Amino acid sequence: MAGRSATGTPSWLGAVNDRVGLSALLDHGPLTRNRICEIVGVSKPTASLMMTRLLAAGVIEERGTVAGSPGRNAALYAARIDRPLGLAISLDAAELRATIVDAVGTAHPVVRTALPVDPAERDAVAELRTAIAEASEAACTDPDAVHTLVIGTAGYVDPGGSGELFTETLPGWPVKHVRRTLEEALGRTVLIENDVNLAAVAERASGAGADGDVFALVWLGNGVGASFDVAGDLHRGSFGGAGEIGFLPLSAEARALDPEATTVQDLAGGYAVERFMRTAGVVAADDHAAIAALADAGPEVRARFVAEWSERVAHAVLPLIATLDPARLVLTGPTAAIGGAELAAGVESAIRRISRWYPAVVATEVPNDPVLEGARTYLRQRVRDELLDTVASLAVH
């Protein structure tokens, strides 16, 4: 005789109720049994059974009491968010930044680690192990509770069979089967995501993309990249490389803006800022130093930068706009942050002048490390789902 589905059985209904009850505690914080009844819509006996099962599973705890009916105090129940945990990481050529992520998005400390310049001194597994240990220590959490890592970096991983890593910022890291290599060494799930995509996740959650159905995001910094968001879903492309506009060759009109530029990266990336600062009398050691010098420059230099970069960025994003036709374009990244709303307005005006398109161009509303913030946002939901899944396993009889 064929086995019957567990759907509708007492164990299935209990698992569903437990998941809903735990969700309520994650969403609202500590609650009494009566308040759980009101939020979830179950009877007091059912709520009592839910709390008993969740306590036994170790996913909630009693956290004091509050005054209830005359002469009695009501127990407060709270979700335990000390496990499972995740680790959000933002990586660039010089530094690794990491923070612990729990199921409710608690603001844990960010640890920073300077990375070796010499590729021979790089060790991906050692770097990640150090990040887990140091971030856990800073958050006063158990490193063994970290089950998932989300790493944001310039570049992307091809989703094909080889899982090849395409990036110029992680020298010394494995190139083929990078995820599998790291997961086997660390014993944890490892997700590597393009930094610009994560910036778009942050913008969708709490920034300039929160109130629109569709937007495109353009990153201006050492590199130039783009991301496309449709109602919260990112378009990554068939091979993971959607949005890599920095490699695009320039039109004749764009090349006229800078005779030394042949690609979008040349026109609006870090080296372009370095060349621009030379015209302002500042010889920077590299593109990172040039961007820092621009941030500290006087009003005349900044005004000239905004005027010049408005034209450069408008020409750089035309292929993106012509392909996707977004209603809104969000500018983010270190260079875009320097120009702010003034640069966004200049880009919008330039696009309308040189093309038939007219998207609204706005400055980022996630100014502080949007890549790390996007990793936190993405990871928080995964950690939450993992916690809820511990009490929602379906028994099939």
- Residues 185-236 pLDDT 10s: 999 999 999 999 999 999 999 999 998 788 999 999 999 999 999 988 999 9
Q: Answer whether residue 168 shows pLDDT above 90.
A: no
Determine the pLDDT at residue 3: 47
pLDDT (0 to 100) of residue 1: 42
The strand pair at 73-79 and 111-114 is best described as unpaired
- Largest Cα separation within the chain, whole Å, is 84
Phi, then psi, of 43 in degrees rounded to 5: -75, 165
Residues 6+ apart with CB under 8 A from 80: 58, 59, 60, 61
Please state which of the ranges 16-20, 59-63, 187-191, 381-385 shows the lowest mean pLDDT: 16-20
Q: List CB contacts of 37: < 8 A, sequence separation 6 or more.
A: 43, 44, 47
User: In this structure, are strands 224-230 and 233-234 parallel, antiparallel, or unpaired?
Assistant: antiparallel
Provide CB contacts within 8 A for 181, sequence distance 6+. 124, 174
For residue 161, name the pLDDT band (cuts at 50, 70, 90).
confident
Read off the pLDDT of residues 5-49 as tens digits, 9 standing for 90 and up.
Answer: 455 566 667 788 899 999 999 999 999 999 999 999 999 999 999
Is the per-residue pLDDT at 339 higher than 50? yes
Can you read off the two tokens belonging to residue 161?
């069979």
Q: What is the mean pLDDT of residues 336-362?
A: 97
The per-residue pLDDT for 117 is 87
Confidence of residue 160 (pLDDT cuts 50, 70, 90): confident
Statement: residue 396 has pLDDT above 70:
no
Bigger pLDDT: 268 vs 4: 268
Task: Reply yes or no on whether the pLDDT at 131 is more than 50.
Answer: yes
Q: Which one, of 81, 53, 130, lies nearest residue 383 by Cα?
A: 81
Q: Which residues pair with 152 in a beta bridge?
A: 90, 193
Asked if pLDDT for residue 162 goes beyond 90, the answer is no
Q: Which residues of 298-320 are buried (b: 16+ CB within 10 A; e: fewer)?
A: eeebbeebbebbbbbbbbbbbbb
**What is the reported pLDDT for 395?**
37
pTM of the model: 0.91
The helix or strand, by DSSP H or E, that contains position 21, with its residue range, turns out to be helix 10-28
279-300 pLDDT tens trace = 999 999 999 999 999 999 999 9
Please tell me whether residue 2 adopts helix, strand or coil conformation.
Answer: coil
Residue 307's H or E segment, with its range, is helix 299-324
Choose among 350, 323, 352, 324: nearest CA to 339: 350
394 has a pLDDT exceeding 70 = no
**Cα–Cα distances in Å, from 165 out to 171, 178, 200?**
11, 7, 21
